[in-house]
Amino acid sequence: MKAQPIENNIGLHGVFISMKDWEIIKAQYPDIEEVNNEIPDWQKEILTERLEAISKNPNRVKPIQGLLEVLNKRIAK
């Protein structure tokens, strides 16, 4: 799939994909057109709290690769 980032004259961003790729996506995710772009307020509050915590202590953020390695080791046991 080849996605092309786009931006209009007022700064709104989006991604252009071919109709062929869109059909493939719809086949894999039939409800994709039903997705609502708005997230509930309770989720926004959680995100705000987490972003504030990260800004106070940036060392809390770690690459996910380390977590995946730990999980893979536990699975392999």
pTM for the structure as a whole: 0.39
Does 40 score more than 80 pLDDT? Answer: yes
CA-CA distance, 52 to 45, in Å (whole number)?
11
Domain ranges (residues) in the chain? 4-76
Q: What is the dihedral of CA 40, 45, 48, 52, to 10 degrees?
A: -170
pLDDT of residue 42: 93
pLDDT of residue 3: 80
The contacts of residue 63 (CB under 8 Å, 6+ apart) are none
pLDDT of residue 19: 92
Does 67 score more than 90 pLDDT? Answer: no
pLDDT of residue 41: 92
Integer angstrom CA distances of residue 10 from 5, 71, 77? 15, 44, 54
CA-CA distance, 46 to 39, in Å (whole number)?
11
